[in-house]
Structure 1
Amino acid sequence: MPTPAHFTASAKKRIAAFSFDFFAATLLFLCVSAALETQGVDIGTFRNYVICHAAYHLLFLVARGGSTLGKALQNIAVASETGQPLALWQSVVRVAVRYLPLIAVTVAYVEWETVPAILGFAAKLVAGLVWLGELHLLQNSPGRQTIADRAARSVVVNLPPPHTHRAPAGPMYSATDVEFGVPPRRPPGDA
C-alpha cells in the first residue's frame, strides 16, 4: 500500500510550478498596470505587486481546485491533508502565510524614528525568514510541507496520469461478428 509520501509532489516540480506562476503573475501585474496607467492610475508599487501575486494564487486555488497554471503544467495540485479538495479557508490561510510577510515589508515607516525603524527591520527579517523556512521545509521535510502548507493543513500532491483509453471510431460490433455466432436463417421452404 502506498504511503502519503508516495503521492506528494517533488520539490523540483513545486519549484518549477512556482517559477511559472511567478512569471505569469508578474506578466499579469505588468499588463494591468500598463492598462491602468493609460487611464491615469498608477499602481506600480511593490505592495500592489505582492497583492497581485497573492490574488493570482488565491484565485486559482479557489477556482481551479487547488491548481494554479504552473501546478497544472507540472501535473500537481494542492489538497487538504485529509485528501479532500482544498476548502476556501485553507486557500486563504495558505496564501496569507506566504504573502502577508511580504506585504508587511511594504508598510511605510519613518526611518529617523527609532520604534518604526525597528518594526520595519523586524518585518523585513520575518519575511526573509519565512521564505527561507519555506525553502528549507520544501527540501527537507518528509511530506514536503512548507510553513504555509502546515498552517493551512494542506499538501501538494501529484495528480493521476490522464487515461489513455480512447473510444473506437466505429461501431464496436456488428451482426456478422464471429463472437455473436452465426446469424439465424429461415428454413429454405418458409417465405
Structure 2
Amino acid sequence: MFIIAGLGNPGLPYEGTRHNVGFDVIDAIADEYNISVDYRKNRALIGKGIIEGQKVILAKPQTYMNLSGESIRGLADYYKIDEEAELIVIYDDVSLDVGQLRIRKKGSAGGHNGIKSIISHLGTDVFLRIKVGVGEKPKKYDLADYVLGHFSKEERQQMEEGYHRAVKAVEMMVSGEIEAAMNEFNRKAKKDAARSGEETKRS
C-alpha cells in the first residue's frame, strides 16, 4: 500500500495558492481514478483507491503546513507502511519553473516547512517526493506572501499541465518505476531549461 500525501493549508482562503499545489495534485489524481477524498483520519482528509493495481491512500493533511508531519506520522503508523518506500509526498517548490516537476528519493527540507515537519516526525529524510514548481519569488516579495498568493491565468494553465504530469509520475512510481519516472520528468525539466537558454542566446 502507498500513502500519497499532498501538502497544503485547509480553508477557502488558501485554495488555489502556490503553497497548496500538493492538494491540487491530490485532487487531480482523485478525479482521474474516481477516488473520493472526504474521510477524516489522523488529522487528514483521505480517500482509498487503486492505481496501477496498487492500493493507495490519498491524503490531504488538515494540520496546516507547518504541522504536516503530525498527520503523516499518524497515517504511516496506522496503515503500517514502509515510509522510505511506500510514502509519496507532493509539494510546491519555488526553485522550479511553474509546472515543472522534480522527483527525489530523499533530501533535506530545502526551507519547506511542511517537509521540515515530516522529516522531524518520521526521523528520516528518506521518502519519495514530487516537487511541483511554482516559480521563483520576485526579489521584492516576501516569501510567505508569495507562496500564499495565487497564479496568473497563464500560470494556471501551466500548472494544470504540471498536475497532469504529476499524475503520470505517481502512476509510474507506484508501479515501481521510480528511476524511470526520475529520468522522464527530471530530464524534461533540464531539457526545457537548456532550450530556454538557447532561445535567450538567439534573441
Structure showing the higher strand proportion among its residues: 2
Report which of the two has the higher share of helix: 1
Provide the TM-score with structure 1 as the length reference: 0.29
Q: TM-score, normalised by structure 2?
A: 0.28
